[in-house]
Amino acid sequence: MTEPKRRRIDIVLSEGFSTDLGDLSLEEVRSRRDMAEEVERELSYYRRLLHGRMDLLAFEMRRRRGEETRSLIEALPEIIASGIPSGRETGELRHLSVDLQLPEITGRREIDHILEDDAITRIATMDDSELSELQLALAEAERTVSEQRRQLHEVIDRLQAEIIDRYKRGLAGSGTTS
């Protein structure tokens, strides 16, 4: 019987992925760092999608409370633009490239179910309890993704520190593992 395919996030966050690095070749450490960075970019993308949905939902809730007079469609360009990072504050744009591979929505992850849900297209017709449920689901998904990103940053930092240490000790070009 074949073992089920593990998700990359599970592999990268598994015990042992970023420990005992001295036993690995420099190429393997770099490969693991690259994989972790790819997964982090995917989670960052998911998080941006969640924030966009949360912004749309927050607008609709403000509109219903009478704090907004515009329709969602009228405010859409402003809502979308407000969620786009300039990159100047975060430095993120230097990591973007034309070859950026966006994650495929496979339906295997909890976040895929939330992002596939067409609820966002129906928020203007949802009742208040449905809006509250959607808001809770989006907030929980965002918390989960943010926690995974925090863990990924720790993994990436450990892998990067190992690479830097090898360069400092003069082991980066020698092909040795320690």
Angstrom distance (rounded) from CA 139 to CA 136: 5
Residue 174 located in a structural domain: no
The predicted pLDDT at position 50 comes to 92
User: Which of 1-15, 55-69, 147-161 bottoms out in mean pLDDT, i.e. has the lowest?
Assistant: 1-15
> How much is the average pLDDT of 87-91?
44
Specify the pLDDT at position 161. Answer: 96
**In a domain? residue 55:** yes
Q: What value does the mean pLDDT take over residues 131-139?
A: 91
112 within domain boundaries: yes
* Phi, psi torsion values for 8, nearest 5 degrees: -60, -35
- Confirm whether 64 is domain-assigned: yes
Range of the domain at 136: 25-93+106-168
> CA-CA distance, 146 to 40, in Å (whole number)?
10
In a domain, 1, yes or no: no
Q: Is residue 3 part of a domain?
A: no
- Structural domain count of the chain: 1
Mean pLDDT of the chain: 82
Would you state the pLDDT for residue 114? 74
Provide the token pair at 168: 């400092």
pTM of the model: 0.74
Please report the DSSP string for 22-87 in residue order. Answer: GGS-HHHHHHHHHHHHHHHHHHHHHHHHHHHHHHHHHHHHHHHTTS--S-HHHHHHHHHHHT---S
